[in-house]
Structure 1
């Protein structure tokens, strides 16, 4: 008979990932979607993590209008709530913002990457291209385990008790219009291929310390 041991277990090195359903998203998305698609018609794509699709310049705050400024202000608020000094006291840095738009159609994706030179990064979903209603369309935002692939490579059928399913693997977030997510910039992430017939539109951003 197995003896139940009285273990002291502490989960260490958690990675904070925050999500907010933005109020007034329908109004914001109508304005943002129009501005982004207009910009796509005028400017060529930047090549970054995008595998196909259109990636704007990193100055959407200059051409995206009040709607993108509203989203970024909410992101600043999320970062303020989740940032502290080493003693645990809240801090409110004057974040320097870099932001851009991504437009993916069928077959497009974003390869695994992280955002160097920033503290927080995030994504706001303007249009999910139908992903939320139909999981078969793919297009998920995927975060790779920062502990590395070791556990999954050695024993893919096992996980640590109390841990998520991601040991050595990944966790995903399904896009949804109006969803704003914030994550540490060093977190390796990617966008799975989108298989729908619509248009998947998002705004990505970095929050870094002032120079």
Structure 2
């Protein structure tokens, strides 16, 4: 018999190519990039819109209608059941040349996502990271001869996206964007919550 290796408790990241059609992608990028006036403390080359909801624009209503079914699919992986989901907030990020996004996660939500509205330089692909908390060995084996694999890697660089692509991930997952060596990169981020969670007689209902 052959030895077996089990990948216990994997963290899902779901890539959905071409969720938004090109005309909607272009309209979102053009409309909301002009509203991205809020600076980011971690980088001079990064700015955001205010927090938005689908009700703020017909463009966001159209985007949410296409994105929400994908969130429901992803939510079934997280919670083992087909649940109702609502997008709680959306915002547009504009990352200019040299800008970056520091490592962070998203509070007060369960599923988060990024929709890419422009081409993204390979230098500025979204990077997902292990939590810096105490869930690993205190000593590392880290040198030029180490072969990196899924059980010892500390980060994962997402594939190069195309405009209209969506990436979904659990809101607790740490992620960042390295310094952008290319042109302007525009993305739309979002947070989503299930309408209800139940656990052996206890139930919580959420308002989107």
**SS of aligned partner of 2:6:** coil
Matching of residues 19-98 of structure 1 within 5 Å:
19-23=15-19, 25-40=21-36, 44-45=37-38, 47=40, 52-59=45-52, 61-66=54-59, 68-84=60-76, 88=80, 90-98=81-89
Q: Which runs of 5+ in 1 are unaligned?
A: none
**Runs of 4+ displaced beyond 6 Å:** none
Structure 2: tracts of 5 or more residues without a match: 195-205
Range moving further from structure 2, 113-122 or 44-53: 44-53
Residues 31 and 185 of structure 1: is their aligned pair in 2 closer, same or farther, counting only changes over 3 Å?
Answer: same
Change (3 A) 1:22 1:180: same
**Distance in 2 of aligned mates of 1:106 and 1:177:** 18
Q: Does the CA contact (< 8 Å) of 2:40 and 2:46 recur in 1? A: no
Paired residue secondary structure (2:38) = coil
TM-score norm. by structure 2 comes to 0.78
Tell me the alpha carbon deviations over residues 4-30 of structure 1, each in whole angstroms, 9 at most, x when there is no partner. x73243210101111111255311121
Which residue, out of 116, 122, 125, partners 2:116?
Answer: 125
Residue 202 (1) aligns with residue 187 (2): yes
Distance in 2 (alpha carbons) for counterparts of 1:168 and 1:183: 18
Root-mean-square deviation (Å): 3.0
For residues 14 and 94 of structure 2, what CA distance do their matches in structure 1 show?
Answer: 23
* Matched pairs, number: 192
SS of aligned partner of 2:117: strand
